[in-house]
A and B are shown apart, each in its own frame.
Chain A
Amino acid sequence: DAMVIQNPRYQVTQFGKPVTLSCSQTLNHNVMYWYQQKSSQAPKLLFHYYDKDFNNEADTPDNFQSRRPNTSFCFLDIRSPGLGDAAMYLCATSRDRASDEQYFGPGTRLTVT
């Protein structure tokens, strides 16, 4: 049974056209994360929520925004995608503190044309 679900699995968008990626979880975890991963690189944390508290990484571009309307859902908004934003976007959750193990969704592969 899927515990962290991401939609869509594949997204193609045009340069500059806003796009929203979604993540939902059935684990009732407090913490949700968004990562960007490019080929042969480590996942790069963009931001995370601890419950409703939003935490932005210092080097996350303003082009990336996030919303968490409730415990189960979290969204990643890319306001004006550039070619350099093409990547795999991974959503993850952890039960409480980030010291707990993380559970990842299958990812959304974003292509920017």
Chain B
Amino acid sequence: RKEVEQDPGPFNVPEGATVAFNCTYSNSASQSFFWYRQDCRKEPKLLMSVYSSGNEDGRFTAQLNRASQYISLLIRDSKLSDSATYLCVVNPGGSYIPTFGRGTSLIVHP
């Protein structure tokens, strides 16, 4: 089992839709979790950190489920500008080296 797994998609949704991505991780000792957004041929940019209690930033909600070892990202009211690849990053305990998932591609169409 890979350390961090994501469904590569693409997720193809209409504007205004709600879409959710999951990311599973194998190391139960993982300590910190992030979602990054990466546009085509650009660098990843932090979208949000994922806290144990869950967190929300506008249309974006991130959740952590430690028991099942996954994090999720929910995007409400999708915009065309949300089209991008969403990378899950997990920091396993001990080594402090962040591990990237391969990303989930989102395409929002009119």
A contacts with B: majority SS: loop
| In contact, B46 and A102 (Cβ under 8 angstroms) | yes
Knowing A97-B96, A102-B98, say if A42 contacts B87 (CB, 8 Å).
Answer: yes
The stretch among A13-21, A67-75, A78-86, A103-111 that forms the contact with chain B is A103-111
The A/B interface has a contact count, at CB < 8 Å, of: 46
Closest to A90 in B: B43
Size category of the B interface is 20 to 34
| In contact, B103 and A107 (Cβ under 8 angstroms) | no
Is B72 on the interface with A (CB-CB < 8 A)?
no
Within 8 A of B (CB), among A75-99: 88, 90, 97-99
Is B91 on the interface with A (CB-CB < 8 A)?
yes
Knowing A99-B31, A99-B91, say if A42 contacts B100 (CB, 8 Å).
Answer: yes
